[in-house]
Amino acid sequence: MRRPRFEGDQRRSTMTALQHGSAAIPEAKASIPPTSHDDIDEALAILSDNADAWVKTSIDERIRILDELVASTHRVAERWVRAACDAKGVRRGTPGEGEEWLGGPVVVLRNLQLLKRSLKDIRDSGSPKLPGEPKVLPDGQVEAPVFPTDALDKLLFTGFSAAIRQNRSVTKSSLRDNMGEIYRNPPTQGRVSLVLGAGNVSSIGPMDALHKLFVEGEVVVLKMNPVNEYLGPFMDEAFRELVRLGYFRVVYGGAKEGDYLCTHELVGSIHITGSDKTFDAIVWGTGAEAADRKRRGEPRNDKPISSELGNVSPIIVVPGPWTDEEIEFQATNIASSLTNNAGFNCNATRVIVTQSSWAKRGKFIDAIKRAFARAEQRMPYYPGAEERQAAFLEAHPQAHQFGPRGEGKVPWTMITDLDPTKADDICFTTEAWCGVTSEVPLDADDPVAFVEEAVKFSNETLWGTLSCSVIVHPKTMKEPRVGQAVEKAIGDLRFGSVCVNHWAALAYALVTPAWGAAPGHPKEDIRSGNGFVHNTYLFDKPEKSVIRGPFVVKPKPAWFLDNRTSHEIGRKLCDLYANPSLLKVPSLLFSALRG
């Protein structure tokens, strides 16, 4: 690969920006003219005028609106996916197209249907009906089941489950009183929320808006990210009923327009999916003045702000008696968690944590390399990807690269045998935000000691608290000491989502889990962010989402990098969630079996 040339201070400033947290991303070139300040003022005035009406809107009317949104989102879905594929250089009929279906209109439609179901439950019985009985964990924490939600989920995701662990102030008897706050105690006044959309996954902006509207009760102005602002017209069309009623608006622009919106007197709250650098710029400003403000605890913007800001995401691989077939499955599983969306995901696997003495470690790493070697090369559509990969290669010139190299290309990159004692390694401190991952072996005498060390390493060395995964063989889990250690690890890992045996993106895609960083970060040290989104059972005090899945899944998961029919599966899931019917399942399963 041709590495970018850096001269003097330019190189030092680039490396400094990559030293900690999420990488500073250059602003993308606009494809749609920025919205003028006058037009922003007009949009905010319309929203402000209708904010009180929204909080007074009946549940039946909200359900009607959701039905309208389902129909309009389904109508625009094909064009939405086509535009995303064109912008990202994705060939139709490939796993990349499948990703755009699954990470776009499919999850938005699922979100709409789940919100509608919860609102019907609130109307009929006072609160959302859980799909199972909550339980109290041995340490006293309440865990509420949120998946599977129905027979359809059980058919499509056999063996998968999800639950949300609640804040410790919530008891089993008080759980119902900690669901759907805005419907139990409706606010007397409305508020305008600014949602700063993400540029990578097309469902993030609309789903963040849905959370603000239907879970928090605020009308929304969605500012599109310049990277994917081409989707803005589709958002307008998908949410046209909300637009017609004056509850939703889309605007365009870069940092200048974003700052104007953040400081606008009519904006009452802010939600951002992006980087900790952008969060700090909003709250504290930039440069020396920002550092002084942070030290004094005097933000330049004191509006309520929630955020999801990225992560150096670990996958902890517990040693066990894996067969060759199981090694190949999990190797593809892990590789897919990086190659998805060309590596531009906040939950992409960045550090694979292994036991150094595991007899199958070498075979497993070789299998991951083979998976990267057969993965289709993707266009690095996000600005600065080549420079970010170059910074990791400079720190680790021995990195393994898979795929074509040269200008405009970022090969899949895997850095192995990292030293866990070097806490300042770029792989541990910095979210690569491109197709780069790494592996670190930990010394431990047995699986129990390894699990304990892996938790400590993930909590104390890696940057971020958004999501992580633990891969553990079912036979290993049946060993009492190891099983207990893994269950303890799930509780001890300081991440907003923990996924067992699969990529933690499932916590995002299932929609019922609460998606966000581990609670407790102050604005002065925001890390992966604050607050949760999705959470369609409307828990007021979620703390952690836990997803569990089978060690090996058949047929092949739709999100795997080598699934040949994921584009068919995505389109059929879109139709299914738009108009749910068990009669559509056989055709969907036929496509899945051919993947």
pLDDT band at 280 (very low <50, low <70, confident <90, very high): very high
Partners of 499 in the β-ladder: 469, 547
CB-CB contact of 466 with 311 (8 Å): yes
Instruction: Kindly report whether the global pTM for this prediction surpasses the value 0.85.
Output: yes
Using a 10 angstrom Cβ sphere, with 0-12 exposed, 13-18 middle and 19 or more buried, the burial of residue 179 is buried
Interaxial angle between packed helices 255-262 and 37-55, expressed in degrees from 0 to 180 and rounded to the nearest 10: 40
508/499 Cα distance (integer angstroms):
11
pLDDT of residue 1: 28
pLDDT of residue 3: 28
Percent of the chain topping pLDDT 90 = 95
Structure tokens at 105: 């209109």
Neighbours of 9 (CB within 10 A): 9
380/344 Cα distance (integer angstroms):
9
Lowest-pLDDT range, 2-11, 348-357, 455-464?
A: 2-11
Name the residue ranges covered by the structural domains of the chain.
37-132+179-308, 313-493
295/553 Cα distance (integer angstroms):
50
**Is the pLDDT reported for residue 6 higher than 50?**
no
* 370 SS3 class: helix
Partners of 144 in the β-ladder: 164
20/390 Cα distance (integer angstroms):
16
Structure tokens at 382: 């996000």
Percent of the chain topping pLDDT 70 = 97
258/42 Cα distance (integer angstroms):
16
Report the pLDDT averaged over residues 107-131.
98
Using a 10 angstrom Cβ sphere, with 0-12 exposed, 13-18 middle and 19 or more buried, the burial of residue 460 is exposed
Q: What is the pLDDT of residues 282-302, one digit of tens each?
A: 999 999 999 999 999 999 999
Q: What is the pLDDT of residues 386-434, one digit of tens each?
A: 999 999 999 999 999 999 998 899 999 999 999 999 999 999 999 999 9
Chain mean pLDDT for the chain: 95
**Is the pLDDT reported for residue 11 higher than 50?**
no
549/498 Cα distance (integer angstroms):
11
Q: Give the Å distances, CA to CA, from 33 to 22, 254, 258, 262, 264.
A: 27, 10, 14, 19, 20
Lowest-pLDDT range, 11-15, 342-346, 460-464, 585-589?
A: 11-15
pLDDT of residue 15: 41
* 223 SS3 class: strand
Q: Rg for the chain (alpha carbons), in Å?
A: 23
Residue 179 DSSP symbol: B
HSE-up of residue 564 (Cα within 13 Å, Cβ side)? 4
Amino acid symbol at 148: P
pLDDT of residue 459: 98
Between 14 and 142, residue with greater pLDDT: 142
Q: For tokens 């995505």, what's the residue? A: 570
Report the pLDDT averaged over residues 544-560.
98
pLDDT of residue 18: 52
pLDDT band at 10 (very low <50, low <70, confident <90, very high): very low
Structure tokens at 186: 């409706």
Interaxial angle between packed helices 59-88 and 107-125, expressed in degrees from 0 to 180 and rounded to the nearest 10: 170
Structure tokens at 379: 């266009």
Lowest-pLDDT range, 67-71, 404-408, 499-503?
A: 404-408
236/242 Cα distance (integer angstroms):
9
Give the helix/strand (H/E) hosting 282: helix 276-283
pLDDT of residue 19: 62
Cβ contacts of 357 within 8 Å, gap of 6 or more = 319, 443, 444
Q: Say which CATH topology domain 37-132+179-308 has.
A: Aldehyde Dehydrogenase; Chain A, domain 1 (3.40.605)
Structure tokens at 417: 């045998």
**Is the pLDDT reported for residue 359 higher than 90?**
yes
State whether the Cα torsion 329-461-458-163 is positive or negative: negative
295/289 Cα distance (integer angstroms):
10
**Is the pLDDT reported for residue 352 higher than 60?**
yes
CB-CB contact of 235 with 67 (8 Å): no
Cβ contacts of 248 within 8 Å, gap of 6 or more = 47, 209, 213, 219, 220, 221, 222, 239, 242
* 404 SS3 class: coil
pLDDT of residue 16: 42
Q: What is the CATH number of domain 313-493?
A: 3.40.309.10
Report the pLDDT averaged over residues 216-227.
98
pLDDT of residue 22: 87
Report the pLDDT averaged over residues 299-313.
97
Report the pLDDT averaged over residues 268-292.
95
Structure tokens at 245: 């009623």
Q: What is the pLDDT of residues 12-41, one digit of tens each?
A: 334 444 568 987 789 999 999 999 999 999
**Is the pLDDT reported for residue 7 higher than 90?**
no
Q: For tokens 């090369």, what's the residue? A: 377
